[in-house]
């Protein structure tokens, strides 16, 4: 049963989010309902079930959710790549990816994901989100390493066949599963992206399908990534030169409150905390996030800005030296004139001809 707002189907993006949800839960008919870790056979509904493989159960399912929508013709190939760019962006804006591995995130679900606090993005990573990104990279690598004879589909179909005979996935055994069903070795990728915190080489893996991927600075509060950079209006500074605070905010009833402060950013270095209510910036009252962004945009990188905040009902003045916006916003586009092999891989993956061919 899926609960969804009755008026949640417009605009188009909201409808796509519903399709993604429905697709995700449908895929669970196979992945989790039948394909499962050995530790989940059988499920014990009286206590927490702990496994290192939640990234397979949920992350791979999250990867297939929009891909199935693409294959069904519900989203275009271009929109699918935009959505994947949004996922890469969300991951790049999660500092916890550098300290928390996918295996650890899977194992820690009951004490991390389901007990999140304001510092969770600094100390943890979602096995849904990073698992989705890793699954996409694994799919492309399996295709390339097998000479396009096998895909992640091959692996999942093999697991479904195993499950009919009572087969399960042992802890740490996903590499063996890939080797058995796809005939390729991906242990190097699992060691880097699943068992440790090595940064994902998204650009390198996506190039295998004739794609160019790159990161740029965020262009505004609503910038979720997935799209190439825009050209600033005449007289405006380049996006990279615009100031960066290193915090996210939430609005409620005309109040702007700090929701999260990123490790190592200007806000953390100068003593801004989650829970602080921003009352004024640069001498002017703040009532929404757009207004705060507008005030900060008037201050240059490396310059000091005074924020007036309520911290547990006590009025405080916090001076912050603004930093430069990091390149944490990803987009993906078709490469010009890719090789025939890479163009064919793109077409097989996304069920659409490569635009460059």
Can you tell me the distance from the alpha carbon of 343 to that of 352, in angstroms, rounded to the nearest whole number?
10
265-310 tens-digit pLDDT: 999 999 999 999 999 999 999 999 999 988 998 888 999 999 999 9
Average pLDDT along the chain: 95
Q: How many domains does the chain divide into?
A: 2
* Residue whose structure tokens are 């991927």: 213
Residue 4 lies in a domain: no
Residue 224 lies in a domain: no
Asked if 203 and 253 sit in the same domain, the reply is no
pLDDT at 231: 82
pLDDT at 233: 67
Residue 355 lies in a domain: no
* Residue whose structure tokens are 């064919």: 344
pLDDT band at 237 (very low <50, low <70, confident <90, very high): low
pTM of the model: 0.95
Asked if 170 and 294 sit in the same domain, the reply is no
pLDDT band at 238 (very low <50, low <70, confident <90, very high): low
pLDDT band at 172 (very low <50, low <70, confident <90, very high): very high
199-227 tens-digit pLDDT: 999 999 999 999 999 999 999 888 999 99
pLDDT band at 239 (very low <50, low <70, confident <90, very high): low
**Can you tell me the mean pLDDT for 119-139?**
97
Q: Which domain holds residue 153?
A: 12-217+331-350
pLDDT at 64: 98
pLDDT at 263: 94
Q: What is the CATH number of the domain that holds 256?
A: 2.30.42.10
pLDDT at 1: 86
Asked if 307 and 274 sit in the same domain, the reply is yes
């Amino acid at each position: 049963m899926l609960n969804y707002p009755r008026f949640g189907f417009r605009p188009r993006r909201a409808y796509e989010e519903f399709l993604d949800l429905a697709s995700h839960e449908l895929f669970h008919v196979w992945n989790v309902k039948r394909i499962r870790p050995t530790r989940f056979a059988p499920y014990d509904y009286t206590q927490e079930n702990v496994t290192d493989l939640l990234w397979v159960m949920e992350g791979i399912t999250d990867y297939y959710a929009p891909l199935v929508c693409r294959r069904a013709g519900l989203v275009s190939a271009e929109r699918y790549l935009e959505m994947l760019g949004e996922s890469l962006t969300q991951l790049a804006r999660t500092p916890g990816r550098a300290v928390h591995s996918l295996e650890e995130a899977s194992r820690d679900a009951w004490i991390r994901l389901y007990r999140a606090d304001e510092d969770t993005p600094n100390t943890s990573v979602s096995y849904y989100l990073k698992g989705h990104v890793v699954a996409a990279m694994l799919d492309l690598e399996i295709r390339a390493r097998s000479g396009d004879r096998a895909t992640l589909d091959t692996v999942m179909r093999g697991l479904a066949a195993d499950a009919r005979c009572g087969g399960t996935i042992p802890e740490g055994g996903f590499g063996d599963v890939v080797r058995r069903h796809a005939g390729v070795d991906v242990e190097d990728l699992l060691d880097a992206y699943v068992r440790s915190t090595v940064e994902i080489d998204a650009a390198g893996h996506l190039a295998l399908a004739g794609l160019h991927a790159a990161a740029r600075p965020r262009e505004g509060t609503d910038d979720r990534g997935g799209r190439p950079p825009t050209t600033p209006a005449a007289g405006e500074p380049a996006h990279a030169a615009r100031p960066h605070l290193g915090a996210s905010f939430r609005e409620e009833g005309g109040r702007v409150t700090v929701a999260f402060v990123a490790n190592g950013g200007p806000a953390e270095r100068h003593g801004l905390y989650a829970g602080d209510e921003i009352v004024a910036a640069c001498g002017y009252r703040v009532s929404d996030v757009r207004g705060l962004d507008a005030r900060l945009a008037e201050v240059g990188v490396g310059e000091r800005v005074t924020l007036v905040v309520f911290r547990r009902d006590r009025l405080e003045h916090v001076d912050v030296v603004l930093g430069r916006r990091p390149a944490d916003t990803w987009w993906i586009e078709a490469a010009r004139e890719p090789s025939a092999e890479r163009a064919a891989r793109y077409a097989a993956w996304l069920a659409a001809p490569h635009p460059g061919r």
